[in-house]
Structure 1
Amino acid sequence: MVVLVSGVLLEELPSSTSILFQAYPGIKTQANRLVESECQVVSTGSLLLVTQREFAVTSPHDSSVQVLGTDNIIHHVALIIRHVGSGVTLLAQVDRYTEEDLTCMLAKIMTLIEPGFDDRFEIQLVGGFSDSRLVSESIILNTLGVLVCSQERFELTGLCVGEAFTVFRGTMPFPALRGVAINVKTGIVFPASFSHRGPDMDLRLARTLTGGEGVGMLDIYSPEREELRIGPFSYLPMRSVDIWLGQSDDFILQSLTPCPEVVTDREGFVRQVRDTLRIVKSHPYPSVTLFQSNSPRSYRRDENSGEWILKYQNEWFRGSSGVKPEAFQFNFYVKQEHFNNSWQLGHAAYY
């Protein structure tokens, strides 16, 4: 393995992110600059947003996507891998990460790199504030561990995680940022918020809500076709969906995040949970009702409006996804004491 931090070989994974920052103070200084940067609002016309356990890869030559982004990285981590010579860029949101995931991502990156470039990669991690349960710390160290064990050459150019991703309001820690993005053409990473998050978000979140820890990373973009492609995937029917829909807003909030006090848009969080549960209820077998012929739901960018429009039977339809496009992304931390076997959600991840 070859992982360089500020030009120095990282020979072994430290036991905490604090030790890593102490050993390489320059990387924390750079993280502070990111946190202090002005948050930019990214419009739909140039954005491709990834959510929980999704990734996308594209190049500076893409005419449909200029910005890759992700949001609500309170406990999850935005992983950015950029090929130095070509500018080919990957953005993923991870809450669990394996060697197989990394191998799949690098293979996708290599398909876009023309011959003649060195295989040098820069990586950045953003997200995961210092919570009292150490949920974020576990995710961060797991992700770094996979990278350290890889046979590829990586230079860690950004590490805005843990204490560097935390601000205090009084004595209470909060995430420093809610979203992050990278300009594919320039390679600049910046704090971001998003006016639109893309199509089929409820369906995409249903995949992780119902699937538990067995749900892997999903590649959602074809740079060759410049198409956003969702699925195909399936999930088990959820017998407890009506029970969940009948719960109070406070119960849903307290049950599905380990740190409800840092959720700023509580109404939006609960609304998204309920919208996703309704998708699961309406489409218990998505391979039949949403992914006919085992085909993905494909979208391309409309040249005039900049919106993603759906392909159906070889025709393109604006605003006809069949699933609500608006979404407030959320993630799941299931507190086991609230459930019994008859209505437990899939333990998808940590918020």
Structure 2
Amino acid sequence: MPLFSQNRRLERINATAELFDKYPHLQENARTFRAKPLVDVDPKCFLYVQQREFAATTPADGSGAVCLAHCDGSSTWSEVPLLVQAVTSLSSVSNDGRLELHLVGGFNDESKTSHKLSHNILEMNDIVVDGTHRPVVYGIGVNVKTGDVFPSSFIHKGPAEQLRSARTFTGGQYLSTSPMAEPPHFVQHMKSTIQFLLEHPDSDELFPGAQPQLYHRTEMGDWERVVKS
């Protein structure tokens, strides 16, 4: 699959400095994006994508597929083909077209996880606060109808926030790879997730008959669990 920037095909790039030297608009676009104000999204108008998750959908008129993923480097090589497949499967009505890619996030973290994941491409999202490197943009939103991508903050992270969060660190995973750079809500989020695990030690209770939990959007915009009779 060829990669294009401003309708020009990108040849093999060996270093980040070479990429920015040949395509300086990428850095300018990054500066513009990180300077945008945060958008508070109505909780009845979105689906929150947690760490190691992705979601794909189309607007009501089927005009274009959108996929949002939160990759943390745990299995990126196997995740990317799934993202492409999700978008193309929702775009089956069109044989032509292009996939637009937006990379947001990462920073100069102590363990260099972001650099390993993005090869320094996302270094524009780094800021030093009180001697600690932090990301400028912590979260983003995507307008499904327009395709617009914007910095966002979220109070609600549903549906099934604690259940989905618990999946990411069961089996001995760290609670955070960058504890000094986490946002203010992180500690409370982890506490509620751990409490959820303590209250639900048996997965059969959460997934009777080994069946997945299913949710749908109500007419009011809320997420409601589908209970099979």
Question: What range describes the TM-score normalised by the shorter chain of this pair?
Answer: 0.7 to 0.9
1:134-283 → structure 2 map (5 Å cutoff): 134-141=112-119, 161-162=122-123, 164-169=124-129, 172-211=132-171, 256-265=175-184, 268-283=185-200
Listed as ranges, the gaps of 5+ residues in structure 2 are: none
User: Higher relative contact order by CA 8 Å / sep ≥ 6: 1 or 2?
Assistant: 1
Does 2:229 match 1:310? no
CA distance in 2, matches of 1:271, 1:172: 21
Counterpart CA distance in 1 for 2:2 and 2:51 is 28
So what's the TM-score if we normalise by structure 1? 0.59
Total equivalences in the alignment:
228
Deviations 1:208-265 (A, max 9, x none): 111468xxxxxxxxxxxxxxxxxxxxxxxxxxxxxxxxxxxxxxxxx74343332241
Indicate if the aligned counterparts of 2:213 and 2:226 stay in contact, CA closer than 8 A: yes
Q: Normalising by the residue count of structure 2, what TM-score does the alignment of the two structures yield?
A: 0.86
Residue 69 of structure 2 is aligned to residue 106 of structure 1: no
**Equivalent position to 2:215, from 299, 314, 322:** 299
Q: 1:60 maps to which residue?
A: 59
Q: Which AA in structure 2 matches 1:35?
A: R
Q: Structure 1 residue 175: deviation in Å?
A: 1.1
* 2:26 alignment partner in structure 1: 27
Identity of aligned residues (%): 33
Structure 1 pair 12–60 and aligned structure 2 pair: CA distance change class (3 A):
same
Distance 1:263 1:106 in 2: 30
More strand by share: 1
8 Å contact kept, 2:132–2:180: no
Query: Equivalents in 1 of 2:18, 2:212: separation in Å?
Result: 44
Q: Distance in 2 between matches of 1:130 and 1:41?
A: 26
Aligned-pair distance for 1:285? 3.2
Amino acid at match of 2:46: L
Q: Equivalent residues in 2 for 1:44-55 (5 A)? A: 44-55=43-54
Give the superposition deviation at 1:172. Answer: 4.3
Asked if the contact 2:39–2:152 (Cα under 8 Å) also holds between the matched residues in 1, the reply is: yes
Counterpart of 1:280 in structure 2: which amino acid? L
Q: Distance in 2 between matches of 1:113 and 1:61?
A: 13
